[in-house]
Amino acid sequence: MAQDQHAQQHPQQQFRSPGDQDSEEISHPGMTGEMDTEPDHGEDSYRGSDRLSGKRAVVTGGDSGIGRAVAFAFACEGADVLISYLPDEEDDARETVRLVEKAGRKAITVPGDIRDEAHCTAIIDKAITGLGGVDILVNNAAYQMSQDGGIFDISTEQFDRVMKTNLYAMFWLSKAAAGRMRPGSTIINTASIQAYQPSPQLLDYATTKAGIIAFTKALAANLADRGIRVNAVAPGPIWTPLIPATMPKEKVESFGKNTPMGRAGQPAELAPAYVFFASQESSYVTGEVLGVTGGKPLA
């Protein structure tokens, strides 16, 4: 009954697409306020139905984009949320905190760089002391930088940053959290359609996303006897600050137009997938990948 009510609150919702004015590049890491067309995080549309009541969630990259939409949706569903983010993203993080608190839930923040193992451990420690535990871990933070020349333009420094942010941090955070999670807890990793349809310009990023798929499936089997489920969401082209901050303007102009739906997706369209994996609705689902791609096939 709760699901039907939830669906009725979103009749024929129309999500906007970035326009041609969004072709201007912005500096990395990219702030929401710098975008000509800001993403839709579900601020005015998402309505919860207590599917995560009393849960404690950690969301990396929770300052903006997919992470903000997930943090807000979790809060609307009754969860308290810790968000981690880079110190440069403080303004965006404060807005996410405002949204979580507007939904009536507790929000705590841990700025820092997840390429550092000690910081990853500190994130989980802060969730234990600040929220009382961790029931949901969302490994969402990622780094990408498009390079037209592919392997010839990807420096060792960039390759190392992508690997540390996208893979090492996921490993460190999952390891720190899993040993302190109760049965019924969940880990949700953000993969990508790039794991299945890799672009040469994103060779290093696509490599990490394929690794996330393998990590998710292996960890799901590893933790099943502890009662901890592990799944992944694989987004297609989603309109976030990362896009104009890491792609050339000609790519930004056409971003998402090659999908069957003819547009980029909005973070608000991703959040329900994370809520599904975090809730009891997916209690018999582990080791799975859910694509949210605007109709583009994962394989």
User: What phi and psi, each to the nearest 5 degrees, are found at residue 50?
Assistant: 60, 30
Structure tokens at 232: 């992944």
Looking at this protein, which amino acid is placed at residue 204? D
Res 32: pLDDT: 61
Q: Let me know: does 188 contact 287? Beta carbons within 8 Å.
A: no
Q: pLDDT tens across 210-221, in order?
A: 999 999 999 999
Res 257: pLDDT: 81
Looking at this protein, which amino acid is placed at residue 126? K
Do the strands 289-292 and 136-139 form a parallel or antiparallel pair, or are they unpaired? unpaired
**Burial zone of 265 (CB within 10 Å; 0-12 exposed, 13-18 middle, 19+ buried):** buried
- 107 vs 47: CA distance, rounded Å: 18
Active-site pick, 46, 85, 143, 205: 205
Res 141: pLDDT: 97
Res 116: pLDDT: 98
Q: How far is CA 173 from the centre of its chain?
A: 14
85 given a catalytic annotation: no
Res 17: pLDDT: 55
Q: How many CB atoms lie within 10 A of CB 19?
A: 10
Q: Among residues 282, 275, 269, 164, which one has the least CA distance to residue 228?
A: 282
Q: Let me know: does 179 contact 124? Beta carbons within 8 Å.
A: no
Give every residue of the chain whose pLDDT is below 50, as ranges: 1-12, 19-23, 26
Q: Among residues 144, 146, 195, 143, which one has the least CA distance to residue 169?
A: 143
User: What phi and psi, each to the nearest 5 degrees, are found at residue 64?
Assistant: -155, 180
| Structural domains of the chain, with CATH | 50-292 (3.40.50.720)
Percent of the chain residues past pLDDT 90, beyond the cut = 76
Res 88: pLDDT: 92
Q: What one-character-per-residue DSSP string does 1-51 give?
A: -HHHHHHHTSTT-------GGGGS---TT--GGG-SS----STTT----ST
- 67 vs 74: CA distance, rounded Å: 10
Q: pLDDT tens across 48-94, in order?
A: 999 999 999 999 999 999 999 999 999 999 999 999 999 999 999 99
Q: Let me know: does 9 contact 47? Beta carbons within 8 Å.
A: yes
Do the strands 56-60 and 80-85 form a parallel or antiparallel pair, or are they unpaired? parallel
Res 248: pLDDT: 63
Res 11: pLDDT: 38
Write down the pTM of the prediction.
0.88
